[in-house]
């Protein structure tokens, strides 16, 4: 078993798959934060017509089945689709787009919930003290930094372990779009359960290490409050 484990870890394809998994999920999570944090802030603090509808849509989006997202993105990116001329179906970019659609509602919804839990009068107190709107928002983000870190972890967790959408828009092409989750499915279908278990264990360890680091930052911040 040890020899088999060493042979997998010394395989260049294994590390290419791992790095691609980290790359696409990291980029998708990063962009989802860039979109979800401002939009979640608007939904939490803003008062405008249709706000409840938007919140309902975001909450619904948090539970979107990945295969449905994969189907929708594939239809858009397919040759006959609206963005077919871009030729990005079955590329890492297609996987990033699909994972972005999955992660953004998660980050947005949790960011909005985090900010709504703050003292409602805090924003008015900050404005009364002379803070500008950007300064007020940054201060509120800082006050809600612990649950916002949880939103980041949830967003990353929703995509690093996702398989359905990645398979549908990426095609699981060796050396191009194969990531850890789709590689696990492939090895399982081939009956290579030992290798599938090693890939699954490695995926679990990556997720655990990243979440451990973020949790350490979160809890350290909690002790300093």
Q: What ranges do the domains of the chain cover?
A: 2-224
* Cβ atoms 41, 111 nearer than 8 A: yes
pTM for this model (two decimals): 0.88
List, for residues 113-166, the tens digit of each pLDDT value: 999 988 888 888 888 888 888 899 999 998 898 889 889 999 998 999 889 899
In sequence order, which residues have a C-beta less than 8 Å from that of residue 64 and are 6 or more positions away?
Answer: 101, 102, 105
Which residue shows structure tokens 């990531």? 179
3-state secondary structure 191-202: CCHHHHHHHHHH
List, for residues 20-53, the tens digit of each pLDDT value: 999 999 999 999 999 999 999 999 988 888 889 9
Domain 2-224 CATH class label: mainly alpha
């Amino acid at each position: 078993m040890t020899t088999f484990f060493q042979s997998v870890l010394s395989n260049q394809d294994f590390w290419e798959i791992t790095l691609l998994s980290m790359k696409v999920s990291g980029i998708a999570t990063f962009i989802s934060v860039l979109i979800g944090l401002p939009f979640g802030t608007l939904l939490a603090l803003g008062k405008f017509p249709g706000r409840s509808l938007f919140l309902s849509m975001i909450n619904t989006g948090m539970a979107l089945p990945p295969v449905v997202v994969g189907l929708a993105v594939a239809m858009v990116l397919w040759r006959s689709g609206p963005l077919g001329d871009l030729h990005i179906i079955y590329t890492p970019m297609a996987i990033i787009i699909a994972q972005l659609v999955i992660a953004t509602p998660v980050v947005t919804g949790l960011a909005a919930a985090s900010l709504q839990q703050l003292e409602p009068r805090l924003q008015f107190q900050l404005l009364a003290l002379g803070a500008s709107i950007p300064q007020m928002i940054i201060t509120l983000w800082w006050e809600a930094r612990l649950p916002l870190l949880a939103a980041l972890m949830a967003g990353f967790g929703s995509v690093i372990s996702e398989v359905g959408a990645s398979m549908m828009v990426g095609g699981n092409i060796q050396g191009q779009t194969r990531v850890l989750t789709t590689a696990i499915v492939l090895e399982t279908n081939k009956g290579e359960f030992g290798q599938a278990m090693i890939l699954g264990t490695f995926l679990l360890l990556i997720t655990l290490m990243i979440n451990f680091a973020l949790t350490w930052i979160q809890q350290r911040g909690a002790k300093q409050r």
